[in-house]
Amino acid sequence: MNNTYTIAGTMSGTSLDGVDVALLTTDGETQLTPGNTGFTPYSDAERAVLQSAFDAGASMTDRRDRSGIIGEAEQIVTDVHIRALKEQIQKSEKAVDHVGLHGQTIFHDPSRKLTVQIGDAQRIADELGLPIVHDLRQNDVMQGGEGAPLAPVFHAALIEALGAVKPAIFLNIGGVANVTFVGKAQEILAFDTGPGNALLDDLMQAHFGMRMDLDGAVAGRGRVKSDIVDRLMSHSFFDRKPPKSLDRREFHEFALTALGDNAAEDRMATLTAFTADAIHRAQRWYPDPPQTIIVSGGGVKNPVMMKLLQALTPVKLQIASDLGWDDVFIEANAFAYLAARHLRGLPISFPGTTSVPEPMLGGDIAYPHGS
């Protein structure tokens, strides 16, 4: 039996910028051979619909509901995924066996056992003629887990493949920031640390009509309001023992109230410092001080944030791209890896990553009609 697959993994993250696709040849364990990658952006109009779907998602009670704006958003997410996947599969030198589909999370509240990812897996399967492994969070949430983060088992495999000195941290700064701690005995602890880029991106859109703070230029012109950072760090989330996870909008109202009527540049500087401080203070939960810190995600492209983070830790930050793995596509690779684990009947979440009672399987498969 062949236990190795070439899988196209996708990620449409909470930053709502677009769809990442990464091809990975893997056995879902130690074999990791990256392939081509690509990014397909959402248009401004599509992004506005997705933002509205986030608002509607907060009042959902049935995760299968696709009425109104949520159905419109799912059509957008599905169409963009199909375009993105077709482009990268056509470029691949290897035949692609499956797709690992994350979809677009529009609501996540494990306390209600509710996590909603939109994206029509069946239509994608029919369009591509490939089986789609999807809905990877639901079983974890139904069994009492946080449903996030799910990438840690891949982060741990990557840390091992890179020969990183342990204890090691893999930090992903996406819309929400999360860390994976891997100890000397391969023990894993993972959790969301707090906001990543989502708050910053939303503030840039509100103040300047721009998707992001390119190169941290706006934050770099502002002044950090330390008293506001302290107020933001008083949020109860930071005292919760991990594993723990966040919805994209968890801090929005709290942060906007704390920021008050300060100038836009100062708001951005303060939120950037808040994100860095939240990541740094996550170390209180690490079993041992890390010897290696590898960073990935869109936050890597923000030099202001990276400078703040480096100033807060004596360990030299290593960028995933410098180690041979494009830092922007780590999460897409992770969902290819998770799909392989699903196909092999291997667990994708664990007590130390999502607080499930035991290692947990996850996911479902949509097969092309007629296959």
Q: How far apart are CA 14 and CA 148, in angstroms?
A: 13
Q: How far apart are CA 315 and CA 291, in angstroms?
A: 7
**pLDDT at 299 > cutoff 80:** yes
Q: Once rounded to an integer, what is the mean pLDDT over residues 269-292?
A: 97
Q: How far apart are CA 260 and CA 262, in angstroms?
A: 6
Structure tokens at 278: 């939240």
Q: How far apart are CA 345 and CA 362, in angstroms?
A: 9
**What pLDDT does residue 58 have?**
86
Q: How far apart are CA 116 and CA 107, in angstroms?
A: 5
**What pLDDT does residue 247 have?**
79
- Which residues make beta-bridge pairs with 116? 107
Q: How far apart are CA 92 and CA 78, in angstroms?
A: 21
Q: How far apart are CA 323 and CA 72, in angstroms?
A: 40
**What pLDDT does residue 1 have?**
53
Residues 239-251 pLDDT 10s: 999 999 887 778 8
- Which residues make beta-bridge pairs with 41? 18
Q: What is the pTM of this model?
A: 0.91
Backbone angles phi, psi at 369, to 5 degrees: -60, 135
CA 83 from chain centre, in angstroms, equals: 21
Q: Once rounded to an integer, what is the mean pLDDT over residues 219-234?
A: 96
**What pLDDT does residue 236 have?**
94
Which residue has better confidence, 1 or 112? 112
Which residue has better confidence, 168 or 298? 168
Domains in the chain (CATH in brackets) are 5-144+362-366 (3.30.420.40), 152-323 (3.30.420.40)
Q: What percent of the chain has pLDDT over 70?
A: 99
Q: How far apart are CA 196 and CA 189, in angstroms?
A: 19
**CA nearest to 201, candidates 147, 255, 282, 137:** 255
Cβ burial, residue 166 (10 Å; 0-12/13-18/19+): buried
Residues 322-355 pLDDT 10s: 999 998 899 999 999 999 999 999 999 999 999 9
The answer to whether 66 touches 74, Cβ cutoff 8 Å, is yes
Residues 24-83 pLDDT 10s: 999 999 999 999 999 999 999 999 999 999 889 888 999 999 999 999 999 999 999 999
Q: From the CA atom positions of the chain, what is the Rg in Å?
A: 19
The answer to whether 49 touches 79, Cβ cutoff 8 Å, is no
**CA nearest to 182, candidates 196, 195, 163:** 163
Backbone angles phi, psi at 247, to 5 degrees: -80, 150
> What is the DSSP secondary structure assignment for residue 299, as one 8-state letter?
G
Cβ burial, residue 142 (10 Å; 0-12/13-18/19+): middle
Q: Once rounded to an integer, what is the mean pLDDT over residues 179-195?
A: 94
> What is the DSSP secondary structure assignment for residue 64, as one 8-state letter?
T
Q: What percent of the chain has pLDDT over 90?
A: 85
What does the mean pLDDT of the chain come to? Answer: 94
Cβ burial, residue 262 (10 Å; 0-12/13-18/19+): middle
The answer to whether 108 touches 247, Cβ cutoff 8 Å, is yes
Which residues make Cβ contacts (< 8 Å) with residue 15, sequence separation at least 6?
A: 174, 175, 196, 197, 198, 201, 212, 298
Q: Once rounded to an integer, what is the mean pLDDT over residues 202-216?
A: 90
Quick one: pLDDT band at residue 215, thresholds 50, 70, 90? very high
**CA nearest to 55, candidates 259, 298, 247:** 247
The answer to whether 22 touches 340, Cβ cutoff 8 Å, is no
* Number of other CB atoms surrounding residue 240 within 10 Å: 11
**What pLDDT does residue 183 have?**
96
